[in-house]
Structure 1
Amino acid sequence: MKVKSHIFSLVVLLGCFSCVSPPDNFPSVPEISFNNVEYIETNDADSLILTINFRDAEGDLGLNPRDIFPPFHELEYLKDGAGNYITYSNRPPNAPSFNNRDWVIFPLINNVEIKDTLWVRENPDYYNIFIKFFIKRSGEYTEFDWSKPPYYTTFNGRFPRILEEERGRAIEGQIRYAMLSLGWNSIFRTDTIRLDVQIQDRALNRSNMVSTPDFTLSQIRR
């Protein structure tokens, strides 16, 4: 998805990755573990960088820009009972008000431009890395949901294919995943934060979920 809020100059960015030739008994479903989290301030957007270790038996990790066809398409265009696209002018009572996450203006569908505003839903399988944010207060964790107002965005994203060939091969390595924003300090300040992360292979197998230790931005500033 495109960046949805003026607070963010860029939603996601892949740092780097690596792979080696591990034993043949690696898990078929991707397996990950926490490695590191760090915060880098610049004169532009600041970076919250999460590094995870991964292992996978088939090596079918990563999506390239050309991976946009089902099941990796970005959006689902919602239709009414008659099979027509739901437009903003004819939206049902349960439809959300206009925002840049739920509505798309003049979309291109099957190479045809639809000159209207359509109700859409993100396809979760468009992404292959999934990030959740939690704030800890009085010992309790509460999810910070970026999809809600006023942000209407996500920090889920894509990392590129680690192996270009389709032949299965066991791999392991690290993914360094950078999330860039102008708003980290203004949103979280001195809050205690935790991130949960999963990845997904091209067979749509989701890995185990791992969590970072609790941290504040000042504690992980580099």
Structure 2
Amino acid sequence: MDSIKHLIYTLLFTVMTVACITPPDNFPSVPEIVFEKLEFVNTSGADSLMVTIGFRDAEGDIGLNPTDINPPFNAINFIRDAGGSVITYSQRPPGAPNYNRLDWAINPTINNQVFRDTVWVEQNPDHNNIFVKFFIKRNGVFQEFRWEDPPFFTTFNGRFPRILPDNRTQAVEGSIRYNMLSFGWESIFRNDTLRIDVQIQDRQLNKSNVVSSPELTLNQITRR
């Protein structure tokens, strides 16, 4: 089984929060996060890489529910030709990418109707609210490991649900545990020295600061 077939992943989310009724003076309007923990858990199925971050925010407008899919939280944007029509795979112009899961959508819904073809798209980064980058140390220097590139054409960016159940404004603080499952962690990274960077975004599209894990190996963070 090649590596791309071996990399089957799922994202799970656990959100633990404490809401503050009276916002402290130092709570930021833009989300503020701190790195807390990174763990690797071997299982009989897919292995789990779990990152935990602490957060605080003055308005509490953090998180997206499954129903939050209208702009600006739509998943994809359609690339169109000069006449405004979507571009299908069979009519793709020179220079268009070959088929992959990020650049092409099969039978997408356009204007509330299923368009039965494969259509050129671009991913909307604002569909997600947590962003994770991976880095591998090579010759003493960290280089980004881009899941979006061949052969994987995927991402570990994702969503965590709303912290507050409605749209009220209320200061919140707590922890987010973001759980990434894959069959490929050990086969891809082995004994490499890694670092991950994490950032979140609120519903006003304000991005938090970026936090980094310490440099580590999977063996060092394996839960035993």
Q: TM-score, normalised by structure 1?
A: 0.95
Which residue of structure 1 aligns with residue 103 of structure 2?
102
1:64 and 2:65 aligned: yes
Distance 1:24 1:164, change over 3 A: farther
Identity of aligned residues (%): 58
- Is the CA contact 2:19–2:170 (under 8 Å) kept in the aligned structure 1? no
Post-superposition shift, 1:165? 1.9
For residue 126 of structure 2, give the secondary structure of its aligned residue in structure 1.
Answer: helix
Deviations 1:76-110 (A, max 9, x none): 11101110101111111121001122111111222
**TM-superposition CA deviations, 1:7-57 (whole Å, max 9, x none):** 333332112321231524300000000000000000000000000000100
Are 2:8 and 2:184, in contact at CA under 8 Å, matched by a contact in 1? Answer: no
Q: For residues 36-51 of structure 1, what are the structure 2 equivalents within 5 Å?
A: 36-51=37-52
- Pairing 1:221–2:222 present: yes
Aligned to 2:30: 29
CA contact (8 A) 1:46 1:182 kept: yes
CA contact (8 A) 1:30 1:54 kept: yes
Amino acid at match of 1:147: E
SS of 1:104's equivalent?
strand
Structure 2 partner of 1:6: 5
Aligned-partner Cα distance in 1 for 2:42–2:193: 18
Equivalent residues in 2 for 1:123-202, closer than 5 Å = 123-202=124-203
| Per-residue CA distance 1:135-192 (angstroms, 9 max, x = gap) | 0122101100000111000000000000012111111000000010000000000000
- Structure 1: unaligned runs, 5 residues or longer: none
Give a deviation string over 1:95-141, Cα, whole Å, max 9, x none.
Answer: 10011221111112222111211001110000000000000122101
Task: Check the 8 A contact 2:15/2:163 in 1, yes or no.
Answer: no
Contact conserved, 1:11 with 1:154, CA < 8 A, in 2? no
Aligned runs of 1:109-128 on 2, under 5 Å?
Answer: 109-128=110-129
Unaligned 5+ runs, structure 2: none
Q: Is the 8 A contact 2:65 2:162 kept in 1?
A: yes
SS in 2 for 1:185: helix
Structure 2 counterpart of 1:16: 15
User: Where do 1:197-212 residues align within 5 Å?
Assistant: 197-212=198-213
C-alpha distance in structure 1 between counterparts of 2:132 and 2:6, whole Å:
18
Count of aligned residue pairs for this structure pair: 218
Q: Report the RMSD for the aligned CA atoms in angstroms.
A: 1.1
Q: Please give the alpha-carbon distance, in whole angstroms, between the structure 1 residues aligned to 2:55 and 2:7.
A: 28
> Match for 1:206: what amino acid?
K
The 3-state SS of whatever aligns with 1:166 is: coil
Letter in 1 for 2:16: F
Code of the residue aligned with 2:211 in structure 1: it is V
